Amino acid sequence: MAAMGSLITSFPNRGASTHFGMAADAEYLYSFHYDVGAGYPIVVLRKANGVFVRSLQIPLPDWQRQYFRGVGYDGDGSVGLGYLYLDNYSSRFVAKLRIANGKLVSTWGWVGGTYRYGLCCESDKTRPGTLKGFYQNNFDGTWWRSDKDGSLISSWRLPYSNFAYDLAWDYVNGLIWYANYSTLWVFGTTPAGSIKESWRLEAGVSAPYGVAYYERRLYVSTSGGSPDEYVWVYDCPVSTVGIKPASLGKVKALFE
């Protein structure tokens, strides 16, 4: 078994426009594509190799679609089924979208905080009916936890979470993953706000926006640098997670 954070593979994301939030089920990646001409779709890729499957249109007007950033998945892992939750930072609401047909199921608004960018669903994505709620964040380091109806439970500040555009819930290790846009590090934090894992993204890339987790794999989408518009797949085995002191020192140095 590879170590936590070991790079497994990588492949191009579809298109030349910026990709923001991302989610995953048993076979597919769902990547929000900031493509004006295409109407801001969700691009569906095979998560094994990045092969394009289809585009999923969000049934909302363009002036709302363009402001989605965080993307979360809830379901039992069934291929092409389940739901996507999309975080609109401008209009301040979360949209629930049925993957199978792209139908807008519901929306709920949030109160508190100027913007909320990242989003992940706290659920076991291999089992139905396990959704407990949502985590959201802004890239100023503020985080929010809501129940499954969207009602706020708590909020807090987390160090090293500046410039995080998307979140991914690791239901195996009980971690929330995100990539720091500024430092290009990937972090895994507990729901209590303690950083437990971290590693540096590949040299040359930039703009890590989307992150997704499914079955011991973390997917990070970068939208800048060389290579541009790529998905990087990392190993996240079952482990007694714990950041190494030497690694933590490197992380601290980035913010001093």
Note whether 154 and 145 are within 8 A (CB).
yes
Q: 175 or 141: whose pLDDT is higher?
A: 175
Q: Is 101 helix (H, G, I), strand (E, B) or coil?
A: coil
Looking at residue 160, its pLDDT comes to: 64
Q: Which tens digit of pLDDT belongs to each residue from 190-233?
A: 998 888 999 999 999 999 999 999 999 999 999 999 999 999 99
Instruction: Say whether pTM exceeds 0.85.
Output: yes
Q: Which tens digit of pLDDT belongs to each residue from 97-154?
A: 999 999 999 999 998 878 999 999 999 999 989 999 999 999 888 999 999 999 999 9
| 217 token code pair | 């794999």
Give the sheet arrangement for strand 83-88, strand by strand: 68-74, 83-88, 93-98, 104-109
Task: Return the CATH class of domain 7-254.
Answer: mainly beta
User: Which residue's entry shows tokens 């910026």?
Assistant: 18
